[in-house]
Each structure stands twice: as C-alpha cells, then as structure tokens.
C-alpha cells in the first residue's frame, strides 16, 4: 500500500489523480490533500478518500474547512500555511507526492518533497521553469525519484533509452514536443486580439485549469514546457523542437541518431501519464478509453507560428538568456494571465506585459532559492505596473 499526498487535489490534475487512485484503492491510500479556494470540494474529497490531513493556505479557510468536515462527520485533521504544505509533502508517512499546485506557489512544497527523497510526480512545470538548476540539484542530492506528468514530458520519458542518464544520451538527437496549437491555432491575429477569457479557456482537446488553458492559447505553455524539458532531460535548447499536432494523439517524440523516431500515443486524457507516474516502473489501468486510430483516421503536423504566438518566442529568448530570466518570464506571465482572466487586459497584452517586464531586467544566475524568490517578487511588481500602464 502506497501512501500519497496530492498537492492541489481540488484542481484538474488533482481530480484526475484521485480518479485513478479510486480505481486502485487496494494499492494506494491518501495521506494528505491540499487546496486553496474550493473548500467544499476539499472537504468532500477528504471524507471520500479518508485523508489523514487536509491543508489550505490561511487560517480562515482552515476554520471553514474544519466546520465543513465536521458537518460531514469526517476525521480529517486540518492544517494551514506554507509550512503545513511542506510538512505533508515531506512526512515520513508518505511514499508518493503528486505536485499539482498551479504556478509559483507549487515550488516550495514540491521542493520539500524532493528534499525528503520522495517519489515526486511533477505536474507543476512552473517549479522547474523558476528554479530548474536548484530543483534538479536537489533531486540528485536527495535521491528523489522525479517522474514527469506533463503529457509531453511523460511521453518523452517513455521514449528515451533506459540508460539515458548513464551514458546513452548521445544516442538521442532531438526531443520533439508536440503542441495542439490551442484554441486560436486557426484564428487570424485580429481575431486573437479580441479573444475573451472564455474562448481562451475552451481548449479543443484537453480539459484543464484556467491558467494552463490560457497558457495553451498563447502557446506560453509550450515555451514553459521547452524549459521544463531542458531541465528534466539534462539537455540544451538546440536539441528541443516544437511540433504542432492539432489532434493531440502523439504526445511527443524522441529522434535518435540512427534516424529512428519513437513516439508515445494515446487519447488526450491526463489519467494516462498520472497512472504511468503512480505505477512506474510497472503499469496500471487508468480508465482511459482505448485509442482507436482508424476512428481518428488522420494525424497532422505543422510548424509553430512565432509571429502569431509571440509568447513562445519570448520563452525561447528567456531560455537562451538563462539565469533568472525564466523565473521573470514565469512570474510576469502569471500576473498577466490573471489580469486577462479578470478582464483587465486583452489577450495580446499578455505577451506585451511579459516582454516589457523581461526588458526591464538585468539577468544573473540565482544561486539560492531566496534569489529565485527575489526575482519572482520583483518581476511580479514590475508586471503589475506594466499592466497598469496598459490598462490606462
């Protein structure tokens, strides 16, 4: 029996994880669940999965959650704050941690799980974008097992040679990340500039949280994923390519030096990479429907359009810059996406705000987590003032 903490259980990845776990309750039990705003859902999950602990961000949410759990006659103990998040991610009663908090808020608890040497299922790509070097250093130092849940990275992980990390890296020529192109792939720039949050969140293939949905529409998500891939697979940006594949069936590909290209295919359902991560190196049924290629009939591929989707180019630039540039990119993007979702700025202003924020920084190599967090904080305040200027 494996004991699991799900950081961000109330979100899209969190719910898919619980769905897979429910299918295998003889093998997996819940130690802790965490959420932020959706307290009713967290209370209900805590009861249904008999969680030992439920963690929220602040005291007033904790009081409300405690009373919701008492009303449901549950026994889950409620905690709050960032120390509590780190505690349930690193407890010696936990075997597996699913890191599925969205954004920079996921960094510290995920890193706590890594430092405790856990098996960490990484959905929170922002932690690697912000602090890739420190994060991967900690994985090595504490012998954590890091398994990628982002579908592209999980696909690449499945297609790499077994001894990739022990000498077989030169046999790999390229990592090819597929991208659906998002809901605006076929729109012209004029139409994209008028896109509403609802349209941006209506992803054609995947059902996801709002932030990553907007990132997919702007293709910032693919940019973040290139940086994520660089760190996860210890490679350089010139070996990473993006390929638009609107059907989201081929989840990514690995090109070998001998001309072989290995790909992982499946229906677009996050329960596949989640089940893969949970059971690795074994396999586990996930509840995902069998792939019917004759029904799908056609798989198509095209190059990304960097003019229509400037966020992808901005991410490439930040990756090339290195140091704290990706952390600045990520923080500015989080602020800009929030402003877009709030209706304060238009869709194209997301890229403008990120670009202006990046332009105002002198980059350096952040040697410590404090330095990363300082870059993140400063980028947020610059982005807020850039957006105020765009609003007025």
What is the enclosing helix (H) or strand (E) of 6? strand 2-7
Residue 110 site contact among ligand NDP, Mg ion, none (CB < 5 to 8 Å, cut-off depends on kind): none
Q: Which is nearer to ligand NDP, 9 or 286 (CB)?
A: 9
Site for ligand NDP in 154-173 (CB under 6 A): none
Which of 20, 16, 21, 15 lies closest to 3 in space, CA to CA?
Answer: 21
Residue partners of 330: CB distance under 8 A and separation at least 6: 104, 126, 129, 130, 224, 376, 379
# binding residues, ligand NDP (CB under 6 A)? 27
Which of 153, 158, 113 lies closest to 129 in space, CA to CA?
Answer: 153
The single residue among 87, 150, 338, 376 that binds Mg ion, judged by CB under 5 A, is 150
**269 in contact with Mg ion (CB under 5 A):** no
Residue 11 site contact among ligand NDP, Mg ion, none (CB < 5 to 8 Å, cut-off depends on kind): ligand NDP
Tell me the three state secondary structure of residue 250. Answer: strand
Residue 17 site contact among ligand NDP, Mg ion, none (CB < 5 to 8 Å, cut-off depends on kind): none
Output the CA–CA distances (angstroms, integers) from residue 62 to 77, 325, 356, 370, in the order listed: 10, 36, 38, 28
Site for ligand NDP in 106-165 (CB under 6 A): 123-126, 150
The single residue among 21, 88, 102, 129 that binds ligand NDP, judged by CB under 6 A, is 102
Judged by CB under 5 A, the stretch of 142-150, 254-262, 280-288, 308-316 that binds Mg ion is 142-150
Other Cβ atoms less than 10 A from the Cβ of 198: the count is 8
SS3 readout for 302-368:
ECCCCCCCHHHHHHHHHHHHCCCHHHHHHHHHHHHHHHHHCCCCCCHHHHHHHHHHHHCCCCCCCCC
Distance of closest approach, residue 206 Cβ to ligand NDP, in angstroms: 5
Judged by CB under 6 A, the stretch of 12-20, 173-181, 353-361, 364-372 that binds ligand NDP is 12-20
Residue 146 site contact among ligand NDP, Mg ion, none (CB < 5 to 8 Å, cut-off depends on kind): none
Site for ligand NDP in 29-88 (CB under 6 A): 35-38, 57
Judged by CB under 6 A, the stretch of 59-67, 202-210, 333-341, 381-389 that binds ligand NDP is 202-210
Other Cβ atoms less than 10 A from the Cβ of 367: the count is 10
Which of 229, 188, 174, 211 lies closest to 348 in space, CA to CA?
Answer: 188
Residue found by looking up tokens 């659906």 in the block:
180
**334 in contact with Mg ion (CB under 5 A):** no
**87 in contact with Mg ion (CB under 5 A):** no
**126 in contact with Mg ion (CB under 5 A):** no
Residues in the site for ligand NDP, rule: CB under 6 A? 8-14, 35-38, 57, 100-102, 105, 123-126, 150, 206, 208-209, 211-212, 270
């Amino acid at each position: 029996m494996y004991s699991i903490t799900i950081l961000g259980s109330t979100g899209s990845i969190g719910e898919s994880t619980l769905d897979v776990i429910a299918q295998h309750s003889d093998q997996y039990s819940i130690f802790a669940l965490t959420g932020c705003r959706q307290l009713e859902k967290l209370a209900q999950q805590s009861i249904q999965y008999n969680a030992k602990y439920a963690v929220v961000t602040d005291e007033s949410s904790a009081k409300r959650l405690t009373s919701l759990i008492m009303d449901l006659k549950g026994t889950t103990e409620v905690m709050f704050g960032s120390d509590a998040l780190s505690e349930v991610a690193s407890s010696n009663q936990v075997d597996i941690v699913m890191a599925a908090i969205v954004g920079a808020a996921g960094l510290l608890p995920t890193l706590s799980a890594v430092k405790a040497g856990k098996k960490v299922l990484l959905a929170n790509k922002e932690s690697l974008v912000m602090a890739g070097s420190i994060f991967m250093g900690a994985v090595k130092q504490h012998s954590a097992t890091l398994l990628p849940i982002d579908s592209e990275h999980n696909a690449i992980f499945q297609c790499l040679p077994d001894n990739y990390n022990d000498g077989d890296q030169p046999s790999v020529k390229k990592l090819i990340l597929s991208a659906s192109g998002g809901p605006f792939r076929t729109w012209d720039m004029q139409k994209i500039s008028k896109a509403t949050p609802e349209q941006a969140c209506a992803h054609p293939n995947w059902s996801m949280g709002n932030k990553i949905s907007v990132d997919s529409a702007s293709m910032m998500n693919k940019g973040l994923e290139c940086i994520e891939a660089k760190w996860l697979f210890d490679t350089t940006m010139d070996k990473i390519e993006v390929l638009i594949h609107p059907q989201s069936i081929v989840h990514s590909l690995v090109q070998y030096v001998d001309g072989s290209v290995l790909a992982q295919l499946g229906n677009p359902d996050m329960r596949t990479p989640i089940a893969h991560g949970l059971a690795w190196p074994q396999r586990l049924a996930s509840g995902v429907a069998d792939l019917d290629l004759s029904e799908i009939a056609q798989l198509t591929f095209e190059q990304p359009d960097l003019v229509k989707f400037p966020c992808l180019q901005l991410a490439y630039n930040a990756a090339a810059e290195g140091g704290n540039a990706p952390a600045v990119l990520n923080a500015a993007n989080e602020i800009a996406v929030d402003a877009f979702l709030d209706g304060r700025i238009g869709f194209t202003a997301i890229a403008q705000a990120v670009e202006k924020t990046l332009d105002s920084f002198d980059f350096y190599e952040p040697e410590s987590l404090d330095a990363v967090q300082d870059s993140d904080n400063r980028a947020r305040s610059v982005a807020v003032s850039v957006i105020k200027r765009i609003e007025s």
